[in-house]
Structure 1
Amino acid sequence: MQIKRALDIAFSAAVLVLLAPLLAVLALWVRLGSPGPVIYQQERVGRHGRLFRIYKFRTMHVGADAAGPAITIGADVRITRAGHFLRRSKLDELPQFVNVLRGDMSVVGPRPEVPRYVALYPPDVAEQVLSVRPGITDLASLAFRNESELLARSDDPERTYVQEIMPAKLHYACQYVRRQSLWLDLTIIARTATTLARGPNTPGNP
């Protein structure tokens, strides 16, 4: 685990330094695109159930959390013009490398959820999933690359997420915890990079 943490720090520091110009451009775009802060912070559940603030480039108008559901669905009107691109390209998640440096997250690990959804986890599953640091990418991220579009086709997106998508994500999360290794992490990073390079409409592939 010390090796994983060391690689997390080295990889995240390298990404933040190498992509600093891109981060600056994206921050300016978010700032000029709509009033409000550049960085969006949200409470998520981390390792051993510890709460932390996850960082993302803001992709919604200020106050959007109180104006709709916790999940975003298709062409959500709350999303800004810049936000649509940032979400499709996953560039909105780049600030999470700061979360990795802080020790809140890992580069690879189960995606962190908000407390209201974690409260729905079966106890044995919660114990397993929350035994590791959450990650920026994981097997579920690859499988549900176009989650927002899937939810947009549902008559009840919230129910679809809780009853269908979330259990599938937890299956992948438990699979990762059982199989975790340096090789698996490198494989997931490589698959994530390949998927992002192919474009936002590429189907997920765990």
Structure 2
Amino acid sequence: MKYFIFILLIFFGNRGYCQQVEVNISSHKYLFLGLPNSIDIYNKGIDCSDLKIEVDNANFTKDLCNLILTPNLIGPLKIIIYDRFDNVVSEKSMIVVDIPLKAEIIAPIDQDKKVLYKKARGLKITMDHPNLYFNPNHTEISYDFILIRNKNVLFFKEYFSTRFDNDILKVLSSLIKEDILILSDIVIKTEEGFYKVPNLCITIGG
């Protein structure tokens, strides 16, 4: 899955000593860690084949006016573009953030909009971002399912399926007020690679 960011470079004169840079990001404001981000470069007065690109904090490939950036670390990222005379014609700083994945327990909701965890049947991974087009569907998943009651761990087991087995269903059916459910060390494998999902912690109400 690729994310499209458009960088407009307007060059004045043949050497490009003065320029204006505009970034138009239609779906989000950041680059996302570990995902390929597609950047198109538009310019006047210079051939894209003459441009030299320098990027920190990312692996990248260049195909004429297109860059594919895959950030390595969360934090700042800088793109520097040179002309064929090694003059800097553009610099752009951006921010790399983690993919906003989240785990949710699949369970019915009663008429008071209260989640009925005792009737939960599984786990799903969703995106906590309205405009990021990343498919969280996965071929593999692993996580720890934990039940804590009165500060004691009553149940702990590692799982590799989003469908809850009989052991978990038994735990869920026995839930009482102030029990704590924790799903931790959640990792999914998608077509883009492996991604860690933030822990899910639920305190059972009355």
Please indicate, yes or no, whether the TM-score normalized by the shorter chain is above 0.5: no
Q: Rg bigger for which structure? A: 2
For CA contacts below 8 A with separation 6 or more, give which structure has more relative contact order.
1
* TM-score between the two structures when normalised by the length of structure 1: 0.20
Q: Which has the higher strand share?
A: 2
Q: Which has the higher helix share?
A: 1
